[in-house]
Amino acid sequence: MICDSFTLGGYYPGSIGQIVESHALYYSENWRFDVSFETQVATELGEFMGRFDSKIHGFWTARDKTSFVGSIAIDGEKSITEGARLRWFIVGPYCQGKGVGKRLLSIAIKFCADVGHNKIFLWTFCGLDAARNLYERAGFELADEKEVAQWGTVIVEQKFELEIENLNTDNFMGIKR
């Protein structure tokens, strides 16, 4: 897959399974995560889609022709108390570095600003340097870091936060509305 052009959309039949598969394969092959990671992604993504409300939640997929390229979601359920949670952000290895992640992240942040979420947070882990660079370029700041044993390995879990109340999203990350 070349990934020269991609389109953004929302849910389509099979997208939930493709997101789970992409996460499971990538994190198993690159970080040796076990089956508990795949089952957690499947369970939590399925639960999220079952309660999806487009007024507070966002869900986007990227496709190159008919092939899955990436995804991102915003869970706004606890927006008032904790912030909107950015989740299931992944770009296939063959499309990394081609603007897909930047476009998905920009769309998600603009959505949060448009619907009134004042804060976004995400959980990730140390070692995902390209993703961290993208988060920091968008204005996210490291808020918490701790070593945890989960998914069959030990990782340094990181929480990033972005306050978006005063963020100008008209030309955010070089992408115009």
Check if the beta carbon of residue 56 is closer than 8 Å to that of residue 86: no
Whole-model pTM over 0.95:
no
What is residue 1's three-state secondary structure?
A: coil
Domain ranges of the chain: 7-118
For 10, list phi and psi in degrees, rounded to 5: -110, -140
Q: Give residue-wise pLDDT tens across range 57-112.
A: 999 999 988 899 999 999 999 998 899 999 999 999 888 888 999 999 999 999 99
To which H or E segment does residue 125 belong? strand 119-125
Choose among 171, 56, 174, 61: nearest CA to 114: 56
pLDDT of residue 94: 86
Q: Give residue-wise pLDDT tens across range 29-63.
A: 999 999 999 999 999 999 999 999 999 999 999 99
Query: Is residue 173 pLDDT above 70, yes or no?
Result: no
Mean pLDDT of 161-166: 86
Task: Name the residue with tokens 């409300």.
Answer: 53
Residue-averaged pLDDT of the chain: 91
Q: Class for domain 7-118, per CATH?
A: alpha beta
